[in-house]
Structure formats: C-alpha cells, structure tokens
Amino acid sequence: MLDELDKIGADFRGDPSSALLEVLDPEQNFSFTDHYLDQPFNLSSVMFIGTANYTEPIPPALHDRMETIELPGYTETEKLNIAKKYLVPRQLAEHGLNKNCLTIKDQALLTIIRSYTREAGVRNLERSIAAICRAVATEIAKNKKKRATIDKKDLAKILGPLKFESELALRTGIPGVATALAFTPVGGELLFIESASMPGKG
C-alpha cells in the first residue's frame, strides 16, 4: 500500500518519486535494489495499491505507471450509518465506555458531518466522536454524571463553534448575487457569483 501519493515531496534528502518509478516499472522492478540496505528485491509479482486525495500533485511520470480508479466520497446517509454502526461503538470501547454511558443522537451526528467536518471520508468524523467520548469519560471520572446524551445543542461546548456554516439564506437575498453549482472531492457545493456596478464607460 502506497498511501497519500499526492503528498510526496522532494528536498535535499532525496526524491521518493524516483525510487517509486523504479519500483513500479515492470521492466526494472524484478531487480529493484534498496540503496539503504544494499540488497536486491524481486518486486515483479507484487501488486501495488496507491491512494491519493488528488491526482494533480502526483508527478506525471509516476502517474503514467498507474491505473486510476476514482472512488466517490460517502453521502451524508452513509456517513451517519457508518458512525452509528462502527465509529461510535469503536470509540466507546477505546475510551472505556459503553452504550449505557453515552448516547449520541442522530441530529448531533448529522451536525458534526455537516458543520464540523467537510471530507469525503470519515476520519475527522471519528476524531470528533472521540473528542465527545473523552469529554464524557472525564465527567464520569469526576463523578459529575453517570451517563450522558449528546444532542446538537451540546456540541459547541465540546467541539467549539461551527466550522462550516451555510451562507445560502444570508446571501441569496442580496441584489447582484447569483448561485452556481460546483463539484468538489467532498461532494456538491454552492458558489456565490457577485456582480457590481462601477462608474465608467465599459
């Protein structure tokens, strides 16, 4: 597994992409030599799987040796189901809690998905759930409460203010502002296009 190939960088210590070119080249990888260990390896039967958030930063020569498979991000409904079935139970177990100690309402999870994380996957969603578990575990350890139910109104105290807010209601009523659609790695997005009248002959 070659993870996050789009973050490969080159500096005075070397260029990892040059080594990867040799590793991924079927004409050379049967006798790839690791320069640190100074040992040859036959990598011709290895199937490499690389990941990247964006393909543009990957060096073109390296990108040409790969077959690109695009995987769409999860929808809100999928993220909610993943959180309920896998992320919440896992974080409860890791923090010494159980479902009798902590309940996170669906609306709270949806608010985290919409307003605290903006991502194709669920990495930051799990981090937010972990932060909630730590906060509740601390309260239980201090004997301040025996169980907690987290609703959307409780999130600001634990996770801070909303990181992403919808501007739709605030900006669409302004003269000279129109909306357009955009596609991003985390899903569809609304763009606001503004026009202004300026003095002049144009």
Residue with tokens 């169980």: 147
Residue 169 has pLDDT above 60, yes or no: no
Q: Write the CB contacts of 89 (distance below 8 Å, at least 6 apart in sequence).
A: 99
In whole angstroms, what is the distance from residue 173 CA to residue 196 CA? 15
Q: What's residue 87's pLDDT?
A: 97
Q: Quick check: 49 and 68 in contact, CB under 8 A? A: no
Residues 188-199 pLDDT 10s: 777 778 877 788
pLDDT confidence bin for 171, thresholds 50/70/90: low
Q: Residue 16: what pLDDT? A: 82
Domains of the chain: 5-63 (no CATH), 76-159 (1.10.8.60)
Residue/partner pairs of 193-199 with CB below 8 Å, 24 or more apart: none
Q: What is the mean pLDDT of residues 17-24?
A: 85
Q: What is the per-residue pLDDT for 96?
A: 92
pLDDT tier for residue 187 given thresholds of 50, 70 and 90: low
Q: What is the pLDDT of residues 105-164, one digit of tens each?
A: 999 999 999 999 988 889 999 999 999 999 999 999 888 778 899 999 999 999 999 888
SS3 labels along 104-160: ECHHHHHHHHHHHCCCCCCHHHHHHHHHHHHHHHHHHHCCCCCCEEECHHHHHHHHC
Per-residue pLDDT, averaged over 55-84, amounts to 91
**Cα–Cα dist 17/186, whole Å:** 27
In terms of Cβ atoms closer than 10 Å to its own Cβ (0-12, 13-18, 19+), residue 95 is buried
Find the range with the poorest average confidence among 81-85, 88-92, 120-124, 167-171: 167-171
Percent of the chain's residues with pLDDT above 70: 90
Helices (H) and strands (E) in the chain, counts: 8, 6
Average pLDDT, integer, range 65-87: 92
At residue 166 the predicted structure's pLDDT band, cuts being 50, 70 and 90, is: low
Q: Is the pTM of this model over 0.85?
A: no
Per-residue confidence (pLDDT) for residue 53, from 0 to 100: 84
3-state secondary structure of 48: coil
Q: Could you tell me which residue, 65 or 195, shows the higher pLDDT?
A: 65
